Amino acid sequence: MQNDKSPSGVLYIVATPIGNLEDITLRALRILKEVDYIAAEDTRHTKKLLNHYDIHTRLIAYYREEENKRAEKILSLLKQGNDIALVSDAGTPCIADPGAVIVEKARENQVKTVPIPGASALTTALSCAGIAEGSIMFYGFVPAKKNQRRELLQTLTHVDFYSVFYESPHRLSGFLKDTEELLGNRQLFIGRELTKNYEELKITTAATMLEDLTEQKPRGEYVVIIAPAEATPAKDLNIDELIIWYRDNSSLSLKDCCKRLSGDLGISRSKLYKRALQIW
């Protein structure tokens, strides 16, 4: 597949499925068949997709640990007139995945770059989170080191936008604990194993999610969307008025409302729950 308008080949940025192998566009399949090479984050992983669609294009490895070195090799192949499709293990390259280095080098060397859009864990989660309005900030993967994670979460204390993170199952509990401690029991949207057999989508809070994890170990990759900081009720409201305020002005469930009020006021949670049931 040669580019007639330029001595250089074309670099295609191709989105691939994040789970379900059917989530790939017809255009992406055509490009993967027609290019001279496919640059893959992990050739073993990409080979499964190619075998499924009977695609036999030559593969070259492009992994994060040697991204700069591999980018030079790909750039050299492009300059020789080869067309190359860049893919990550899942979703859209360069979105919390390798790829940005070669894209930048291609641009610097006037190599044509063509996006082939498709699946993305970010847009998949946002599409079913029910966010009708408001700004969104995407942070990618949560920092692995606890102090860096906590520093980042502290910057979200008073923000008025939704914050989107990717998180792995073995670090999820630590992330949720820090989120509850630093940001309070905010509303979270959790997307787990998106497009796969055990897909899970739910609105919850950090405290409730942590309780759930005591019964079932986290599995699969997570997308976590943290709601903005909520307004707080006036300090001179009585208990009934506080319950009504949280019911009408917050996204907390009845259970989480009682938990928060119990902690804030030092009142029995069971008594609060009984009263809230009458009002809610």
Nearest C-alpha neighbor of 190 from the set 178, 208, 174: 208
Average pLDDT over residues 8-22: 97
Q: What is the pLDDT of residue 43?
A: 96
| Same domain, residue pair 76 and 111 | yes
| Same domain, residue pair 108 and 126 | no
Is residue 232 assigned to a domain? no
Is residue 77 assigned to a domain? yes
Average pLDDT over residues 46-58: 98
Q: What is the pLDDT of residue 146?
A: 96
The residue segments making up the domain with residue 67 are 11-119
Average pLDDT over residues 220-231: 89
| Same domain, residue pair 100 and 69 | yes
CATH number of 132's domain: 3.30.950.10
In 10 A of CB 217, how many CB atoms? Answer: 10
- Judge whether residue 222 has pLDDT over 90: yes
CATH number of 36's domain: 3.40.1010.10
Winning range, highest mean pLDDT, from 37-41, 241-245, 265-269: 37-41
Number of structural domains, the chain?
3
| Same domain, residue pair 247 and 193 | no
pLDDT tens digit sequence for 83-134? 999 999 999 999 999 999 999 999 999 999 999 999 999 999 999 999 988 8
Is residue 1 assigned to a domain? no
| Same domain, residue pair 98 and 134 | no
Q: Do the bridges between strand 136-141 and strand 58-61 make them parallel or antiparallel, or are there none, so unpaired?
A: unpaired
- Which band of pLDDT confidence, cut at 50, 70 and 90, is reported for residue 230? confident
- Judge whether residue 209 has pLDDT over 60: yes
| Same domain, residue pair 99 and 184 | no
Average pLDDT over residues 175-189: 93
- Which band of pLDDT confidence, cut at 50, 70 and 90, is reported for residue 2? very low
For the residues of 218-252, what is the DSSP string, one character each? Answer: --S-EEEEEPPPPP---TT--HHHHHHHHHHH---
Of 200, 226, 252, the residue that ends a domain is 226
- Alpha helices (runs of H) in the chain, residue ranges in sequence order: 26-34, 43-52, 67-79, 100-108, 121-127, 146-154, 172-183, 206-215, 239-249, 254-265, 269-279
- Which band of pLDDT confidence, cut at 50, 70 and 90, is reported for residue 66? confident
